[in-house]
Amino acid sequence: MCGIVGYIGKNKAQPVLIEGLKRLEYRGYDSAGISILEKSKVKHFRALGRVSNLESKIGEKIFDGRVGIAHTRWATHGKPSVVNAHPHASCDKSIFVVHNGIIENYLELRSGLKKKRHVFKSETDTEVVAHLIEEKQKKQKDLFNSVKSALADLRGAYGIAVIDKKFPDEIIVARKGSPLLFGVGKDEFIISSDASAILGHTNKIVYLNDGELAKITRDDYRVFSLESGYVNKKTTKVNWSQDGAQKDGFAHYMLKEIYEQPQAIANSLQGRVNHFIDEGLVRPTLGGLAPNRDIENHIKKIERLVIVSCGTSYYAGLVAEYMIEECAGIPVEVETASEFRYRKPILNSKTAVLAISQSGETADTLEAIREAKLKGALTLGVVNVVGSTIARETDAGVYNHAGPEIGVASTKAFTSQLVVLLLIALSLGRQRDMSFIDGKEVATELKRIPQLIEAILGQDKEIKKIVSKYSKYKNWLCLGRKYNFPIALEGALKIKEISYVHAEGYAAGEMKHGPIAMIDKNFPSLFIVPKDSVYEKVISGMEEIKARGGKVLAIATEGDSLISKIADDVIYIPKTLEMLTPLLAVIPLQLFAYHLGVSLGYDVDKPRNLAKSVTVE
Ligand code: G6P
């Protein structure tokens, strides 16, 4: 699993490929590699770790080749190492392949190819693809047909790009289950697994669908379906610039993205709530939920909602469960997408399945949506990346409009997901029993959230100081109740992801049924305890921890005079409606995790073992 970049065109391939790899490094950074066709030779380099290591290995030289492929890897089959790094080559070192996905029958293919005297150098599933194409070339002669024939033997998921020094004027790309697209520039084509590597060059993109492959030459491209032949594929214009993908003076993308949250939320709200608040329009404007009359009517009639998502997006789903049930009275179930597909989900035409995904490419979430479609459910999406697979495959949906999120640990995508999910809750609520006044009250307060977040960001220095007091602890319990139970889970995840400190998220009321056994002076707890309907219950839990010698750090509402008498340290958030407290409570947690990770000396933008977008199951 990885980032793929390819180039064919009038310019030197190497700078474009390296720049693309840097933009995609957030998708995986175990190793990186590049192969460039230059005259009758292939310039081939691979390095362990970051793209910068690959650059050092290549040195100052800029090769003249105008065709090449490159890859940044997140290991699935075979440990991170130079030999396992992509591109992988055929025995005759003519064919080079980069691959995203998992070839499930690779062991079987590998043993068949070994019998035909192919020699394997790596432990990866990808290498079989290069040898299989080589084998097919004995009959097919050209590259396109030998790739096509090889694909017919593969089981599993792939996005691939292939070059061959015997055919120096073409790149063959294909997709099944893993994203693959290419940008159409002036006399050049840039291939990638992710539009963010391309947008600096062109915003005209061809998205391959599953089961499609393309032959890209220096001045043309032709797309084919594996089943039905030539496909007349048009370009899609993507209105998403590269601007958001720079650090702008911040030490890390993560910090920049934390600070971008007021703007990201304002963008999520733009054009969606004003009419509802100012002009009495019956509900928020969410055009994506009503792409046509049939779907609009279908949504009005749904009786149950199942949310599928992973990681931080899963926690956004848990918050949405509370919001949607409260605003719209529709029963909601939230399920991690990886579980959904392999049990027997009970779905019918009155159930809608909503995928939440920042990237729109997470394999588990995508497959859950496909399963839901198969079972006849309406599928919806809340997605940040415009044009991504989940956005394209769902029946209707709403974009976050949070801009590119590069930090592996999700921050602004999460808060913008919450905002969009709340707008959906209001929209569903207004179609049902929610009164205009109640809806308007929530929407009006929602518009204030960017400025309230600004106020929390203003406390960054104090939060950093608190972190220095607590950075020696190796374990944390993060606790919250009702709307802030999922925020406790998200806070614990953030701490684990970027500081490698063990943190367990728990429902504050459930803590006494087990985790309290762990508490002593070396095991602090982080309580999310805003002034809401469960405030007193959470305070009782806090007292129970204090009574057992545990330290307490609290996130509480400004003006709460009791809290500082119980907790050892307090971070205050402004007062807001209970339903909106998750949007504020998560901000100090993000800053806390960030400063903890940095103070422990870790690269918080690229935490070990993680990847931004997991496109394998
Ligand atoms: C990966 C990332 C997480 C993210 C999850 C879901 O595990 O490291 O930060 O929350 O995928 O990603 P998605 O793009 O579907 O929201």
Q: Which is catalytic among the residues 2, 310, 327, 478?
A: 2
Question: What is the full DSSP assignment across 230-293?
Answer: EE-PPPEE----SGGGS-TT-SSHHHHHHHTHHHHHHHHHTTTSHHHHHS--SS---GGG-SSH
Q: List the residue whose alpha carbon is closest to atom 15 of ligand 1.
A: 357
Report percent pLDDT > 90 for the chain.
81
**Please, which pLDDT band fits residue 499 given cuts at 50, 70 and 90?**
very high
Q: Answer yes or no: 2 catalytic.
A: yes
**Please, which pLDDT band fits residue 56 given cuts at 50, 70 and 90?**
very high
Q: Which residues line ligand 1 (CB under 6 A)?
A: 310-313, 357-359, 362, 365, 408-410, 610, 612-614
Q: List the residue whose alpha carbon is closest to atom 8 of ligand 1.
A: 612
Q: List the residue whose alpha carbon is closest to atom 4 of ligand 1.
A: 311
Give the mean model confidence (pLDDT) for residues 514-526: 93
Using an 8 Å Cβ cutoff, are 68 and 98 in contact?
Answer: no
Q: Count CB-CB contacts under 10 A for residue 344.
A: 6
DSSP 86: S
**Please, which pLDDT band fits residue 612 given cuts at 50, 70 and 90?**
confident
- Residue keyed to tokens 């640990």: 409
483-493 confidence digits (pLDDT tens): 999 999 999 99
Element at 164 (helix H, strand E): strand 158-164
Question: Which atom from ligand 1 is nearest to the alpha carbon of 362?
Answer: 15
Using an 8 Å Cβ cutoff, are 27 and 8 in contact?
Answer: no
Distance CA 50, CA 45 (A): 13
pLDDT higher than 70, residue 244:
no
152-171 confidence digits (pLDDT tens): 999 988 999 999 999 999 99
Give the pLDDT of residue 113. 97
Of 614, 615, 616, 617, the residue with max ligand 1 atoms within 8 A of its CB, to mutate for a pocket test, comes to 614
Question: What is the full DSSP assignment across 287-327?
Answer: GGG-SSHHHHHHHHH--EEEEEE-HHHHHHHHHHHHHHHHH
| Separation of CA 453 and ligand 1 centre (Å) | 23
Q: Answer yes or no: 327 catalytic.
A: no
